[in-house]
Amino acid sequence: MARICQITGKRAMVGNNVSHANNKTKRRFEINLMEKKFYIPSEDAWVILKVSAHGLRIIDKIGIEEAVARARKEGLIKD
């Protein structure tokens, strides 16, 4: 599975390392991704999600059930 947040859809960006001499080489800006286990009471089930730090804040704010429902609607979580 790719390194994509299953709640927000965030993924790595591409940019440049810029040296003091202004030489540019390609690099990747990776997201702060972690694998977390959540309990969904309505389904009486545990789910394991790859979530970014920002995704965890969203889950805290709107709740796991609403966050998973939105992610499924956007196609970020495949059942």
CB 45 within 8 A of CB 38: no
Q: What is the pLDDT of residue 1?
A: 57
Where do the structural domains in the chain lie, given as residue ranges?
13-74
Q: What is the pLDDT of residue 78?
A: 84
> Which stretches in the chain have pLDDT values below 70?
1, 79
Q: Which class in CATH covers the domain with range 13-74?
A: mainly beta
Q: Looking at this protein, which amino acid is placed at residue 13?
A: M
Q: Can you tell me the distance from the alpha carbon of 10 to that of 13, in angstroms, rounded to the nearest whole number?
A: 9
